Amino acid sequence: MTANNALTGTGGMRQPVHKDITFHHPICPFYFIANIVLSDFTIENGATEFWLGSHADTTSADQVPCNEETKVRQQVPGDPSCNVLPELVERRRQIRPPIQAQCSKGDIMIRDLRTWHAGMPNHSKDDRLMVAVGYQAPWYPNHSQRLFLPVQHANFFMAHGGQPVEIRANLLEADEMSHLWRNYDFTFEPSINNDKRNQSKL
């Protein structure tokens, strides 16, 4: 479970097209995300860009290899980073361009974890808010991509787990959690001004 927000005043910056995966993943469905929309999503406030259908045949070979400076957690140089290779992004654009998912507060968007997507600039005066909850198939081993929760709240969280949903989390003391917030350090890049090609409505 994570927050996924497009803050106001981003100065036109956007994320590169990426997958939320930094490992060699299966080519079949194994993980989906429920994006819970906490404010209306519009083009102006940075509705997420999705590359529909990209999950169907993507592999980790589509991703930019990490290096010593860009690796995260237990990666070694050469493992896939989140970002999709720019030449593949442009090739995909010719087949099926991206859309920005416009939706209303309270909506839930379900996406395969392998789907290419990107955070977009928020040109409005209000933050665009969303919560992302991940659900992973029980057959897929999970040794590194786990939620970190404070051990003092273990009873609350674990009481809501069990069959058919297991809460995959590492329980940590408060002082152990303070160093975790550097895991996801995305680069940002300027968006293309007056670009209408991503403004289709879902």
pLDDT digits (tens, 9 = 90+) for 32-45: 999 999 999 999 99
**Under a CB-based contact definition with an 8 Å cutoff, are residues 100 and 199 in contact?**
yes
Which residues, other chains included, contact 77 with Cβ-Cβ below 8 Å and sequence gap of 6+?
65, 66, 67, 68, 71
Averaged over 98-127, what is the pLDDT?
96
- For 2-137, CATH gives 2.60.120.620
Three-state secondary-structure class, residue 31: strand
**Under a CB-based contact definition with an 8 Å cutoff, are residues 42 and 125 in contact?**
no
* Each residue's pLDDT tens digit, 53-62: 999 999 999 9
CA distance 32 to 198: 23
Range list for CATH 2.60.120.620 in the chain: 2-137
Residue 197 has pLDDT above 60, yes or no: no
88 pLDDT band, cuts 50/70/90, is very high
Looking at residue 91, its pLDDT comes to: 97
pTM (predicted TM-score)? 0.80
**Residue 133 CA: distances (Å) to CA of 37, 111, 165:** 11, 11, 13
Residue bearing the bigger pLDDT, 130 or 155? 130
CA distance 167 to 8: 33
